[in-house]
Structure 1
């Protein structure tokens, strides 16, 4: 029994080590910087040694955080884009009180920090947002013409026209009917599908297969659709072979720690099942 425990403990350590290798490897080849501006936590990812590349603001949804949007940031950064994520007030690591009218100001803070990064071409900027964040980025794209493209994932609402925001891509998961309906209404208000990127009036609706409101964030089809749209906007041919598997690595990490903790606590099988179900810690 003692030898079995030792082997299981070794296995748990290997799982934890493997998970950390996968998480760290996801950042290889990238510049990663963290900031805090006006009590807003921000994270910046860009290709190493990049010069004058397009910048993309990436906004999370209600009850979300910048961590949930890292799949888009990794794919875009590996394809040659500089990306900036942040936690809206009242979300993630942001301890500021949530006030709806301040969320646009949060985006403006993130924009100012993005523009200060040495890799960013200040004349080529775009926006991407999910759910609540989609409404914020569409509104920013309507109000500020400096943004060449806006990507709204699981879109809410905005005063979209045929001219603004520029080059609007709408995405919705095939299993989130209400957001598909929102996207269809926005597409109609925006003048319908077209590929007139030069004029800034391109419009598209992408239905991501087998995805709902949360899983769409980890869906490679969504990530690649966003990359394709930005490439068309900025006339780039960059590609990314990166597939975001960080959630799998995090799950493996959790499994390793649960296994290790149950062994060290010396629990029998029934107690171990109770431990896992309740995420208890050793006393």
Structure 2
């Protein structure tokens, strides 16, 4: 069963496309002031929607700015593409962000990661696209290296950096989730969500890891409170909201903050 006694948290994914950086910076400040729990971007090199050659910014350098700019919120990629950077380098980058963000002594970085899927990124930046299977195999191997590197770095991370893994494939992705994840993120709903959680539990039993502490994360965009309530009843405790500018609708964020607060009592 998923971890049910953890509070509901709201994450907002600021889509780093079709915006100037000052617009992104201002949105980060406002969202933290509103009380959002987590801020995410995404790890791509080109817009995913709208003008395919529109304004766009790189994820990890942006996160370094967020680590300094913010005081309270957790932050990360939803999600990092493992293919774009060596595993040990990712570990060191994550550890560094952890320390930059440790305003109260404990870092706030969440290591959200996945196997990658956006072929244009690979083609234009010179990475081998491979197959879904080869990219997942690389992610599995890479996470072993990342965890090993965290144990060797000096200074060590300020905390056990939470690993958030996105995806739903039952044969590879959910096995990786069962082995490594602290947070599992997907878009699945209803009985399919309950089934996927049971698959994670079975992989955990097979591989000898207790998965009961994995926090379930899901998406709110284009959903209503009834759907969010059902996700809650099935164990979801982190909710993410895709948020696109430049005409940000902060009323939607406030609506979901109010819903979060109603769940947390």
Q: Same fold by TM-score, threshold 0.5 exceeded?
A: no
Greater CA radius of gyration, 1 or 2? 1
TM-score normalised by the chain length of structure 2: 0.37
TM-score normalised by the chain length of structure 1: 0.35
